[in-house]
């Protein structure tokens, strides 16, 4: 892998280390909410957080930010763990859940209440929201704001005991209703939710808000650099306010924000991805068209390609849009170096070699990967009846078409020179077969008399080839920014041609027992990997990417 680039966060950490902060410790965390599957944007955050731990000899926690029981599930927890590991990172014994801190958070809330820094508000949500004011107009204080600590303590305990209805009471931090920062205007820190939590069950009927759980979790875990996306920049004063109330020593976590990843032609919000799954626009979270890690894996992406992509795009402070072709480039680059080459014909046209004996067959030697000699060679069977790609023949070729045509000679890769002598058609004029002759002296792909041909075609032996289903995937959306249109739903931009199924392709027998996720380059066609739907002898392949960027203008 190429050397990792330094980014502005690395520089800030180096500065902190220089100043001797936190006794030279570097500790990060990746804090997903288990309310969906991880996507390529999360991969950027994973690579960044775990990458920092690697670079500075520090640690990175995996922490589930599970404070909203109505949206979170164990299925998501499991998938997130699998995806982080698959990407190549290891949290070792540092697996945490914000829900582990529910007791501590409750105690901390009690402390704030006792110190007169939090109060119970029993106004309705709309009133509270109106009182907050606007960014240009200060808010005004709730009539509940001056309750005594004793009153608040009693009310908060009743909230926790389930004595009030959902929405009837909240606990708020008492900060500053006139602050220019809306998040500092007495933010809600606890709400009543009579919901079963995926880990704590029915123990709680009050749950902490994100802002009240996140920084404290960082603090209790000893995190030194809490890296999050730019929209949390405005939350930073509140993050710091809570830490101020907790801090007991010189140790202090520091929040640093970076620009989230946005990709062209891609939706990157769990809520919208869930909508695609629920409404059946895709076949589940791991549909190879999804930008989820599990979808990319099934599509044929490798962990290396995603890590390289993540490094290549860098880390900045300005929101922008990355061209999805850069992601496609990264997987092409990695698979070019690593993928086993095979020949596969997606749109078969039969070729009969008229001067090749009926009952003869032979094996020809083929290179497994021209980029990696250590991958060796394999044998490819050849016989009288072959398939070539329909698009590699034209009966009446234009001037720049150099592939097969009547009377023309081309090379069959690793095999022989062949010349097309006759075109056989059915009653509708469809070409059903080509009749060719071969030059036995050109075995291996070169003619001893030095005569040249202008094209080399891939092919398979009809009787040896494995029949396979091939799924051609393309971008899920046909608009660069599907969620960026004000009055148009993103689903209006679904690409109707994002999946084309070819039920009858012929691939050389090498792939007969390909295992799910095994990668191949089908020579001249693209990169493919075996799908989970493969059965022994009946492989199904997903196209990861074509050999070249077909969207490039």
Q: Which residues pair with 341 in a beta bridge?
A: 521
Binding residue for ligand ATP, selected from 21, 22, 27, 41, defined by CB under 6 A? 41
Looking at 179-187, 266-274, 376-384, 392-400, which segment touches ligand ATP (CB under 6 A)?
Answer: 266-274
Kindly report the backbone phi and psi dihedral angles of residue 512, in degrees, each rounded to the nearest multiple of 5, phi listed first. Answer: -50, -45
Token pair in block for residue 405: 């045509």
23-52 positions binding Mg ion, by CB under 5 A: 33
Residue 369 binds which entry of ligand ATP, Mg ion, none, CB below 5-8 Å type-dependent:
none
44 binds ligand ATP (CB under 6 A): yes
| Cα–Cα distance for residue pair 356/315, rounded to 1 Å | 60
Three-class DSSP category at 521:
strand
316 binds ligand ATP (CB under 6 A): no
Residue 182 binds which entry of Mg ion, ligand ATP, none, CB below 5-8 Å type-dependent:
none
Looking at 267-275, 320-328, 446-454, 513-521, which segment touches ligand ATP (CB under 6 A)?
Answer: 267-275
Whichever of 33 and 371 has its CB closer to ligand ATP, that residue is 33
303 binds ligand ATP (CB under 6 A): no
Whichever of 227 and 514 has its CB closer to ligand ATP, that residue is 227
Residue 31 binds which entry of Mg ion, ligand ATP, none, CB below 5-8 Å type-dependent:
ligand ATP
Residue nearest to Mg ion (CB): 33
Q: What is the DSSP string of 101-167?
A: GHHHHHHHHHHHHHTTSEEEE-S-HHHHHHHT-BTTB-----GGGG--HHHHHHHHHHHHTT-S-TT
Q: State how beta strands 466-473 and 499-507 pair.
A: antiparallel
Residue 268 binds which entry of ligand ATP, Mg ion, none, CB below 5-8 Å type-dependent:
ligand ATP
Q: State how beta strands 348-353 and 344-345 pair.
A: unpaired
Token pair in block for residue 15: 């500065």
Catalytic residue status for 504: no
Binding residue for ligand ATP, selected from 123, 181, 200, 229, defined by CB under 6 A? 229
Whichever of 196 and 260 has its CB closer to ligand ATP, that residue is 260
State the minimum distance, in angstroms, from the CB of residue 508 to ligand ATP: 40
Catalytic residue status for 385: no
217 binds ligand ATP (CB under 6 A): no
| Selection from 348, 347, 356 nearest residue 436 by Cα | 356
Residue nearest to ligand ATP (CB): 41
Catalytic-labelled residue, pool 14, 33, 275, 385: 33
Token pair in block for residue 289: 């068209």
31 binds ligand ATP (CB under 6 A): yes
Looking at 260-268, 352-360, 376-384, 530-538, which segment touches ligand ATP (CB under 6 A)?
Answer: 260-268
Binding residue for ligand ATP, selected from 197, 254, 270, 334, defined by CB under 6 A? 270
Whichever of 44 and 236 has its CB closer to ligand ATP, that residue is 44
Binding residue for ligand ATP, selected from 148, 269, 283, 377, defined by CB under 6 A? 269
Binding residue for ligand ATP, selected from 16, 22, 26, 42, defined by CB under 6 A? 42
Cβ atoms within 10 A of the Cβ of 500, count? Answer: 11
Three-class DSSP category at 55:
helix
| Selection from 16, 7, 9 nearest residue 227 by Cα | 9
Catalytic-labelled residue, pool 21, 29, 254, 270: 270
Three-class DSSP category at 50:
helix
Catalytic-labelled residue, pool 157, 260, 350, 390: 260
Binding residue for ligand ATP, selected from 189, 228, 514, 545, defined by CB under 6 A? 228
Q: State how beta strands 431-438 and 340-342 pair.
A: unpaired
* C-alpha dist (Å) from residue 30 to 146, 199, 208: 39, 19, 19
DSSP 197: B
Residue 261 binds which entry of ligand ATP, Mg ion, none, CB below 5-8 Å type-dependent:
ligand ATP
For residues 58 to 97, the per-residue mask of contacts with ligand ATP, x marking binding by CB under 6 A and - elsewhere, is -------x--------------------------------
| Selection from 192, 236, 188 nearest residue 209 by Cα | 188
Residue 32 binds which entry of Mg ion, ligand ATP, none, CB below 5-8 Å type-dependent:
ligand ATP
| Selection from 49, 98, 94, 92 nearest residue 72 by Cα | 98
| Selection from 453, 331, 328, 338 nearest residue 402 by Cα | 453
Burial class (CB in 10 A: 0-12, 13-18, 19+), 33: middle
Long-range contacts of 282-286 (CB under 8 A, 24+ apart): 282/476, 285/36, 285/37, 285/79, 286/37
Binding residue for ligand ATP, selected from 246, 268, 455, 547, defined by CB under 6 A? 268
Binding residue for ligand ATP, selected from 33, 323, 333, 479, defined by CB under 6 A? 33
312 binds ligand ATP (CB under 6 A): no
| Cα–Cα distance for residue pair 173/486, rounded to 1 Å | 35
| Cα–Cα distance for residue pair 279/295, rounded to 1 Å | 17
Catalytic residue status for 33: yes
32 binds ligand ATP (CB under 6 A): yes
- Catalytic machinery residues: 33, 260, 270
- Where along the sequence are the contacts to Mg ion (CB under 5 A)? 33
- Where along the sequence are the contacts to ligand ATP (CB under 6 A)? 31-33, 41-42, 44-45, 65, 228-229, 260-261, 268-270
């Amino acid at each position: 892998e190429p050397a990792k680039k330094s980014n502005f966060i690395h520089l800030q950490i180096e500065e902190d280390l220089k100043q001797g902060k936190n006794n030279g410790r570097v500790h990060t965390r990746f804090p997903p909410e288990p309310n969906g599957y991880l996507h390529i944007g999360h991969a950027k955050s994973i690579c960044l957080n775990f990458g920092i731990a690697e670079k500075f000899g520090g640690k990175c926690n995996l922490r589930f930010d599970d404070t909203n029981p109505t949206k979170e599930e164990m299925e998501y927890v499991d998938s997130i763990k699998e995806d982080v590991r698959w990407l190549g990172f290891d949290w070792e014994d540092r697996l945490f859940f914000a829900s582990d801190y529910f007791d501590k958070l409750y105690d901390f809330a009690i402390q704030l209440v006792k110190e007169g820094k939090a109060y119970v508000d029993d106004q309705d949500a709309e009133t509270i929201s109106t009182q907050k004011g606007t960014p240009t107009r200060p808010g005004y204080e709730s009539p509940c704001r001056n309750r005594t600590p004793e009153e608040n303590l009693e009310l908060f305990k009743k909230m926790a005991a389930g004595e009030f209805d959902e929405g009837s009471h909240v606990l708020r931090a008492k900060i500053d209703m006139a602050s220019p920062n809306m998040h500092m205007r007495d933010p809600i820190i606890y709400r009543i939710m009579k919901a079963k939590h995926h880990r704590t069950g029915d123990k709680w009927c009050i749950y902490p808000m994100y802002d009240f759980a996140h920084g404290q979790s960082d603090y209790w875990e000893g995190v030194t650099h809490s890296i999050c996306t730019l929209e949390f920049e405005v939350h930073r004063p509140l993050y710091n306010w809570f830490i101020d109330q907790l801090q007991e020593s010189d140790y202090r976590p520091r929040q640093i924000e970076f620009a989230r990843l946005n990709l062209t032609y891609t939706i990157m919000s769990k809520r919208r991805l869930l909508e695609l799954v629920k409404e059946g626009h895709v076949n589940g979270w791991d549909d190879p068209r999804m930008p989820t890690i599990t979808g990319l894996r099934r599509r044929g992406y490798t962990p290396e390609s995603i890590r390289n992509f993540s490094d290549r795009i860098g880390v900045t402070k300005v929101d922008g849009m990355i061209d999805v072709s850069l992601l496609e480039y990264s997987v092409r680059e990695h698979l070019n170096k690593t993928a086993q080459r095979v020949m596969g014909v997606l749109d078969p046209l039969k070729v009969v070699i008229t001067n090749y004996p009926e009952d003869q067959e032979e094996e020809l030697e083929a290179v497994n990967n021209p980029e990696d000699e250590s991958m060796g060679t394999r044998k490819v069977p050849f016989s009288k009846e072959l398939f070539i790609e329909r698009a590699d023949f034209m009966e009446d070729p234009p001037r720049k078409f150099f592939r097969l045509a009547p009377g023309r000679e081309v090379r069959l890769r690793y095999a022989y020179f062949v010349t097309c002598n006759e075109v056989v058609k059915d009653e509708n004029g469809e070409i059903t077969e080509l009749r060719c002759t071969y030059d036995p002296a050109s075995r291996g792909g070169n003619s001893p008399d030095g005569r040249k041909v202008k094209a080399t075609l891939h092919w398979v032996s009809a009787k040896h080839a494995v029949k396979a289903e091939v799924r051609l995937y393309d971008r899920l959306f046909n608009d660069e920014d599907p969620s960026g249109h004000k009055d148009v739903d993103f689903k209006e931009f679904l690409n109707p041609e994002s999946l084309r199924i070819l039920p009858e392709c012929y691939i050389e027998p090498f792939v007969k027992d390909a295992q799910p996720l095994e990668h191949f380059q089908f020579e001249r066609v693209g990169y493919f990997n075996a799908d989970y739907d493969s059965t022994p002898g009946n492989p199904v392949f997903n196209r990861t990417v074509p050999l070249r960027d077909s969207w490039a203008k």
